[in-house]
Structure 1
Amino acid sequence: MPTMAGDRVSRLFMLVCCCFCITTILMTYNTFFIEEEIVENEEEEDLYEDIQNRNFRDKDRPVNMGSHSHEDDDRTKANEMYNRVRVLCWIMTSPSNLDRKGLAVRTTWAKRCNKYIFFSSVTNDSFPTVGLNVSEGRQHLTGKTVQAFTYCYENYGNSFDWFLKADDDTYVIVENLRYFLSHHNPQNLVYFGHRFKAIVKQGYFSGGAGYVLSQQALKKFVQVGLRNPLLCRRDGGAEDAEIGKCMQRLEIKVGDSLDINGRESFHPFTPIAHLQGNYPAWFYNHTFHKVQKGLGCCSDYSVSFHYMSPADMYLMDYLVYHLRPFGLHRIDKKTNYFLPVGKK
């Protein structure tokens, strides 16, 4: 009996040891593969995060956009318009925006103007920018605008027909701007842009969408308006509204820029915002014309869009000037796709 009892104890002990070994092996196996899976998941997450960070860092990376347009384009009409409708474009920027926003503007649309000038609070000869005697900040946008227009008038007032003000997040299709302006006389006291109806009786134009002054409007603005503080404010306030008040007092008219289908051509938001109708609430009460979305939002010959990131600008430049659907070529059957002067 003692021998049998001892054997049972030995067998039980061996069984317990075997179970312990098997359990240990299984736990080690599971732990290994769970840890491997965790490591793999962490590596995937790290890789995804790295890609996202790289995309964030690189999305505004400068792009060599090459020539002004597709190499096979017939530029005959555009070149004729270039010589006939002379446009000086000036771009409001700041020292901190030069390497990204300023560079994107210079690389894409600015080069299609007859002349372009970047204005900042600091002179930068290598970019280049013209430094103005004004501090940075929204409260000084009026001052920067006034000084920039004054510089343009004093140095180029008789050399160009039209003077466009744009921000460094404005994208302009310059050929469409010239085409639109070709139906207007630069000797008239008029300026154009996206029209708002608040604050100023005749309305005023969105600063972000860009607005363009005729040669005579610029002359009267500088020679008359800026010499009388009762007519034109030299700094402070909301830049676009202050310019609008000044223009009304100087009897410089707001021109209309709708096309023949009643669609806008200067746009205060991005293309996708206008297409989707993704507008802020204030816009419905401020914009002069009926708010539209979808293809009714924007003229086929649209001039400008606002809130464009550098990446948006490079993409827009590619889509407008380089991408082509095979076998399709638009034939312009009309000489004017915009409303005649005086029509609304």
Structure 2
Amino acid sequence: MTRIGTTHAARVNFLIGFAIGFGIAGLLAFVNMANLHGTAVPYNSLLIQQMHRYDIGHEHAAGPGDMYSRGKERHITSHKELDEDRGTGGRDINLDSDSHFHHDDNILAKKLEKTVRVLCWIMTSPKNLDTRAVHVRNTWGKRCNKLLFFSSETNTTFPTIGLNVTEGRNHLTAKTIGAFRYVYEHFYDEADWFMKADDDTYVIVENLRYFLSDHNTSQPVYFGHKFKKMVKQGYFSGGAGYVLSRQALKTFVEKGSNTTICKQDGGAEDAEIGKCMSKLGIVAGNSTDMLGRSRFHCFDAETHLFGGYPKWYYNYDADGAKQGQENISDYAVSFHYVRPLKMYSMEFFVYHLRPYGIISQTQSLNFEKGL
């Protein structure tokens, strides 16, 4: 390129950069002026939208395996979108090898680990073992008192427990009923609470135990992210995960096999389980914290922070489809549609990253004991 051509390109780049900077500055000025005049302007939302529009057309130089290239990053709100994801790109990830792992004061967490025993079982499939389930096993799953994976086929190496159920979304209800029955028959005495989650769910198990610590496992109750349709008391999102008390599990398995009461297969799994629970007298409890903030989430953290919900969600969510950090509990329990790499990002941010000089204190965010 000639010197004249180089100079011209530099001027064009300068003008583009100047225009973008001027536009953002104008946006900030608009927000500030609107706030001064008492007009409520969603500052974060506007800024993020503007930056996102810019990023869509300006991908950075990245390799073909970089799933976080600008313009390709998007909120995932369905399993179809998650299936299009490229996983970890063949990377072998092990955060436990960190030689500077924190030595935090975990006395309270360890105490709850013994007194609030949680069995976690993961709904998966043969094709998802190496792309999804393995990352649950490598991250949050190891903090459960007992971790089980249920599939349509037995895999003695992974391992998974095979159920006599045809694979596919049309049979998730039968798969769920079969998994809970297996748990009840083999592990009922080894846990106090029994959580069902998907292989793209991320759970902060310590926060789950804290939430459950003020509830009675001898009561027929279960908790999760509540939807308000189809069932009078509401029902819980399957993807966000829901957790049953010992009494709820006992009642569900012993009485829920009655086909005149509960549908045994077909339909939307979480809705059918919710209908069954309601008919059996198992209470759909409240899982929000004392400030009314959500703990279980049926989308990933970014979606609940910044919005971008699918249209159906506004009609289903029992708490009004709120967004923003003021609506997410500091002791959040779960997020859904979490990409494999983001599982490890969550591990880093929750269990490794610390701001120097700030010592976090425990908060009392549970309601008084009871339902």
- TM value normalised by structure 2: 0.76
Structure 1 runs (4+) deviating above 6 angstroms are none
1:89 counterpart letter in structure 2: C
Match of 1:53 among 64, 76, 82: 64
Give distance in 2, aligned partners of 1:110 and 1:88: 10
Aligned to 1:276: 306
Alpha-carbon separation, structure 2, partners of 1:285 and 1:155: 39
- Kindly indicate whether the alpha-carbon contact (under 8 Å) linking 1:203 and 1:244 is maintained by their aligned counterparts in 2: yes
Find the counterpart in structure 2 of residue 195 from structure 1.
226
Shift of 1:284: 1.2
Contact 1:60–1:100 at 8 Å: present in 2 too? Answer: no
Does 1:156 find its partner at 2:187?
yes
Shift of 1:61: 2.8
How do 1:139-288 residues align onto structure 2 when only pairs under 5 Å count?
139-226=170-257, 228-288=258-318
**8 Å CA contact retained: 2:140, 2:204:** yes
> Against the structure 1 CA distance between its residues 216 and 67, is the aligned structure 2 distance closer, same or farther, given a 3 Å change threshold?
farther
Q: Which secondary structure state, in structure 2, belongs to the residue aligned with residue 54 of structure 1?
A: coil
Counterpart amino acid of 1:339? F
Give yes or no for the alignment of 1:339 onto 2:367: yes
Q: Quote the Cα distance in structure 2 between the aligned partners of 1:342 and 1:197.
A: 22
SS state at 2:190 partner:
coil
Instruction: Work out the CA distance in 1 between the residues paired with 2:158 and 2:231.
Output: 37
Say whether the 8 Å CA contact 1:257–1:338 is kept in structure 2. no
Describe the shift of the 1:150–1:182 C-alpha distance in structure 2 as closer, same or farther (beyond 3 A). same
Q: Count residues in correspondence.
A: 295
Q: Aligned pair 1:89/2:100, yes or no?
A: no
Q: Select which of 116, 134, 139 maps to 1:103.
A: 134
Match of 1:35 in 2: none
DSSP 3-state at the match of 2:365? coil
Which structure 1 segments of 5+ residues have no match? 1-29, 31-47
Q: Tell me the residue number matched to 1:289.
A: 319
1:296-333 CA-to-partner distances (Å, cap 9, x unmatched) read: 2310000000000101101001100011111111112x
Residue in 2 aligned with 1:79?
110
Pair 93,231 (structure 1): closer, same or farther in 2 beyond 3 Å: same
Q: Judge conservation of contact 2:292–2:327 (CA < 8 Å) in 1.
A: no
Q: CA deviation at 1:60?
A: 6.4
| Deviation per residue, 1:147-177 (Å, 9 max, x gap) | 0000000001122110000000000000000
Instruction: Look at both structures and tell me which one has the larger radius of gyration over its CA atoms.
Output: 1
Measured after TM superposition, the shift of residue 278 of structure 1 is 1.6
Can you list the C-alpha shifts for 1:224-249, whole angstroms capped at 9, x where unaligned?
111x1011111111000000000000
Inter-partner Cα distance in structure 2 for 1:247 and 1:54: 44
Q: How does 1:118-137 map to 2 (within 5 A)?
A: 118-137=149-168
Shift of 1:70: 4.1
Whether the aligned pair in 1 keeps the contact of 2:216 and 2:370 (CA below 8 Å) is no
Q: SS at the partner of 1:224?
A: helix
Task: Provide the C-alpha distance between the structure 1 equivalents of 2:203 and 2:311, rounded to a whole number of angstroms.
Answer: 25
After superposition, the Cα gap between the structure-2 partners of 1:222 and 1:143, relative to the gap in structure 1 and judged at 3 Å, is same
SS of equivalent to 1:91: strand
Moved more, 236-245 or 51-60: 51-60
Is the contact between residue 176 and residue 269 of structure 2 (CA under 8 Å) also seen in structure 1?
yes
Q: Is the alpha carbon distance of 1:302 and 1:55 closer, same or farther for their aligned partners in structure 2, counting shifts above 3 Å?
A: same
- Identical-residue share of aligned pairs (%): 55
How far apart, in 2, do the equivalents of 1:52 and 1:235 lie? 44
The aligned residue for residue 18 of structure 1 is none
Instruction: Tell me whether 1:315 sits opposite 2:345 in the alignment.
Output: yes
Instruction: Describe the shift of the 1:94–1:77 C-alpha distance in structure 2 as closer, same or farther (beyond 3 A).
Output: same
Please show how residues 322-333 of structure 1 align to structure 2 within 5 Å.
322-332=352-362
Give the alignment's Cα RMSD to 1 decimal.
Answer: 2.1
Quote the offset at 1:52 in angstroms.
2.9
- Asked if the contact 2:290/2:365 (under 8 Å) is kept, the reply is yes
TM-score between both structures, scaled by the size of structure 1: 0.82
Which residue number corresponds to residue 306 of structure 1?
A: 336
Equivalent residue number for residue 34 of structure 1: none
Q: Please say if residues 93 and 168 of structure 1, whose CA atoms lie closer than 8 Å, have aligned partners that are also in contact.
A: yes
What is residue 113 of structure 1 aligned with on the other side? 144
1:221 & 1:276 partners in 2: Cα distance? Answer: 37
